[in-house]
Amino acid sequence: PFKRYVEIGRIALVNYGKDYGKLVVIVDVIDQNRALVDAPDMVRGQMNFKRLTLTDIKIDIKRVPNKKTLIAAMEAADVKNKWENSSWGRKLIVQKKRASLNDFDRFKIMLAKIKKAGVVRQELAKLKKEATA
Amino acid sequence: MAPQQRKPHVCRNPDLIRGVGKYSRSKMYHKRGLWAIKAKNGGAFPKHEKKAVEAAPAEKPPKFYPADDVKKPLVNKRKARPTKLRASITPGTVLIILAGRFKGKRVVFLKQLTSGLLLVTGPFKINGVPLRRVNQSYVIATSTKVDISGVNVEKFDDKYFGKKVEKKKKKGEGEFFEAEKEEKNTLPQDKKDDQKSVDAALIQSIEAVPDLKSYLGARFSLKAGMKPHELVF
């Protein structure tokens, strides 16, 4: 029934608070509700599990490694690329891009959408014609 | 060594709390080196002679005192200056006009006039907005910039846009009025030429960017799902 477990080395996404949107590694479990959490660009600290969403990615580390070993383990497991190629990671990247669009960018996207729809409709019309012919 | 570079001087008597310095008066006397200055000067602090004060010219008592005391208005040292321009608005920025006849039009910003209003142009050929003044408050600044280096905007100021003063006509008969009204409606040719000369250079730099021309020709509107407080312009 459960596939993603809280374990040392599990990568999680922070979904609330100051570090919202960051990927962090669970390096130790403090008690029933909290974990010790670390990431290459933040100071190691505790976080409630309610603030974390587990991902599929896991890295191979011992309990509470130092920053250097942590970063080396993350490079070895290629966390960044795995995340950015996963469908969840790609969705987040697209959401961020959409939110940061300029007014001019939105205009260009509108033109592109209309063009694409035109091409699709032409193909569809062609296929329909062949079907009835 | 560059003469201007100096390390910023830390204060000699840092505050422990506001109002209480770290060092006492005697310690500060020593720190400031007043003892050394006195020693250099032979025991007393160096004095310079006071400038001789010229006697003020004798004022005669006034001949006339007003009956009631008149209140003097308070001193006003404010200077008139043009409205502070938002940091996001620089020459060449594309602005969205929010009110008036051209609401929703995307327009190119040229310069700020001395009255504080923004001088703006369509360009006229692209979206029908002529050289015009617009208030900063009725404008959204986008982050799109157009290259404006080829345009000379020196000659435009508030007087250029003011209403033309009509010569006072005596109250004539009805024929008078009709003749006058017909002449007023057309734009003078020199204004049309100004518009053309400003727009010529602008349109070239606009056409250099793909899609920018149609972007400026389209109006802005809020569609379903657009939240203005979340939009990045």
- In this model, does residue B79 exceed pLDDT 60? yes
Residues of B in Cβ contact (< 8 Å) with A99: 230, 232
CA B95 to the chain's CA centroid: 18
CB A104 within 8 A of CB B142: yes
pLDDT of residue B181: 56
Q: Which chain A residue shows the shortest CA-CA distance from B142?
A: A103
Q: Which residues of B140-153 are buried (b: 16+ CB within 10 A; e: fewer)?
A: bbbebebebeebeb
CB B124 within 8 A of CB B130: yes
- In this model, does residue B1 exceed pLDDT 60? no
Residue with tokens 């976080």: A47
Among A45-59, B122-136, B156-170, where is mean pLDDT lowest? B156-170
Residues of A in Cβ contact (< 8 Å) with B230: 99
Where does residue A52 rank: exposed (0-12), middle (13-18), buried (19+ CB within 10 A)? buried
pLDDT of residue B180: 56
- In this model, does residue B177 exceed pLDDT 90? no
Over range B114-138, report the average pLDDT: 93
Residues of A in Cβ contact (< 8 Å) with B142: 102-104
How far apart CA A88 and CA A93 sit, in angstroms, is 9
Residues of A in Cβ contact (< 8 Å) with B218: 107
Measured between CB atoms, does B206 come within 8 Å of chain A? Answer: no
| Half-sphere exposure (Cβ direction) of B158: Cα atoms closer than 13 Å | 10
Q: How confident is the model at residue B71 (pLDDT cuts 50, 70, 90)?
A: confident
Measure B215 CA to nearest chain A CA, in Å.
7
Measure B232 CA to nearest chain A CA, in Å.
6
Over range A10-23, report the average pLDDT: 94
Over range A70-74, report the average pLDDT: 94
**Cα distances (angstroms) measured from residue B227 to each of B29, B121, B143, B222:** 64, 28, 18, 8
Please name the residues in contact with A59: beta carbons below 8 A apart, sequence gap of 6 or more: A9, A11, A25, A73, A74, A76, A77, A79
pLDDT of residue B6: 75
State the pTM of this model.
Answer: 0.74
B161-164 contacts, C-beta under 8 A, 24 or more apart: B161/B132, B161/B133
How far apart CA B115 and CA B82 sit, in angstroms, is 5
| CB-closest option in A102, A107, A108 to B143 | A102
ipTM value: 0.78
| CB-closest option in A101, A103, A108 to B211 | A108
CB B21 within 8 A of CB B14: yes
The CB density around residue A4, as the number of other CB atoms within 10 Å, is 14
CB A43 within 8 A of CB A20: no
- In this model, does residue B138 exceed pLDDT 90? yes
- For residue A59, the one-letter residue type is I
| CB-closest option in B215, B220, B232 to A100 | B232
Q: How confident is the model at residue B186 (pLDDT cuts 50, 70, 90)?
A: confident
CB A27 within 8 A of CB A16: no
Is the Cβ pair A103, B212 closer than 8 Å?
no
Q: HEC states along B128-197?
A: CCCCEEECHHHEEEEEEECCCCCCCCCCCCHHHHCCCCCCCCCCCCHHHHHHHHHHHCCCCHHHHHHHHH
Residues of B in Cβ contact (< 8 Å) with A111: 211, 214
The mean pLDDT value of chain B amounts to 87
The three-class DSSP label of residue A108 is helix
- In this model, does residue B197 exceed pLDDT 70? yes
Q: Which among B118, B123, B153 is positioned nearest to B137, based on CA atoms? A: B118
* End-to-end Cα separation, chain B, in angstroms: 46
Measured between CB atoms, does B224 come within 8 Å of chain A? Answer: no
Sheet holding B118-121, edge to edge: B132-134, B118-121, B106-112, B93-97, B139-145
How far apart CA A57 and CA A54 sit, in angstroms, is 8
Count of CB pairs separated by less than 8 Å, A with B: 32
For chain B, positions 165-184, list CB contacts with chain A under 8 A. none
pLDDT of residue A133: 81
Residue with tokens 């010219």: B57
Over range B129-145, report the average pLDDT: 94
